[in-house]
Amino acid sequence: MLGSLSLSGKRALILGVANERSLAWAIAKHLHEAGAILAFNYLGDALERRVRPLAESVQAEIIAPCNVASDADLDALFRLVNEKWGGLDILIHSVAFAQKEDLEGRFVDTSREGFRVAMDISAYSLVAAAKRAEPLMSEGGGSMITLSYYGSQKVVPNYNVMGVAKAALEACVRYLAADLGSKKIRVNSISAGPVKTLAAAGIRDFRNMLAAAEEKTPLKENISADDVGAMAAFLCGPGGKHITGSNILIDSGAHIMGG
């Protein structure tokens, strides 16, 4: 079914590719396969060296720096998108960050600054990007997708402040979906099971998290980045037409299990 999905000519801005393992890259590949035209950001020179060749391999039309903690960077990126495309159909927000010391030990020890940084980069940045994408999507509507994790709903060891940021992110999705729905702009999150990526490597004992997830899931296997890519493409296509404000779990069913 996905083979016949067409996003031909749809303009997609993808925030959050760091390397070929990134969930955002899996999404980019699926959007590209379905015919979308792509734009990418990167964070800093070191990541530019990783992102640029990937982006060029899918004929990206825009490859630009953007730190989502900076309003000036966001303004410059969306200005570039507007100048180049005059509009936007898809926004992928696949960005999160928390200080390393806040992804281990006790949540109660989170510092004020650690809390602020995690919230700003992992939750508020969706709002900041959505605000700038809205005028570009106002004519034809659009689809915005962010990435969450089940640590937003239940306590997951070491996920700590990121769980709180993801809870805020999922609430942001609902409020944004309500605000933007009349313009046919849909906003959803995909809550993915654990996948080994650069960001995941920052969580203490991530390997145990992967093993535990596999053991716990009804399907007895972990998800792949590719599963996330396929769902994102589906949400951007006709099948997602009436899906907004949702948090879609791709976790081999882990969330239904207790104990």
The nearer residue to ligand NAD, 78 or 149, going by C-beta atoms, is 149
- DSSP-derived letter for residue 124 is I
Beta strands, E only, the chain: 11-15, 37-42, 62-65, 90-93, 142-148, 185-192, 247-250
In this structure, are residues 250 and 190 in contact, taking their beta carbons and an 8 Å threshold? Answer: yes
Concerning whether 159 is annotated as a catalytic residue, the answer is yes
Among 2, 20, 33, 47, binds ligand NAD (CB under 6 A): 47
- Binding of ligand NAD at residue 77 (CB under 6 A)? no
Could you tell me the smallest distance in angstroms from the CB atom of residue 173 to ligand NAD? 12
Using CB under 6 A, which residues numbered 222 to 251 contact ligand NAD? Answer: none
Residue 130 CB neighbours (<10 A): 24
Place of tokens 């000519």: 9
Tokens of 253: 């069913």
**Between 183 and 212, how does the x/- string for binding to ligand NAD read (CB under 6 A)?**
---------x-xx-xxxx------------
The region that residue 105 occupies, defined by phi over 0 for left and psi between -120 and 50 for alpha, beta otherwise, is left
Stretch 79-98: interaction string toward ligand NAD, x if CB under 6 A = ---------------xxxx-
Residues designated as active site:
149, 159
**Which residues of this protein are in contact with ligand NAD, per CB under 6 A?**
16-18, 22-24, 43, 47, 67-69, 94-97, 121, 147-149, 192, 194-195, 197-200
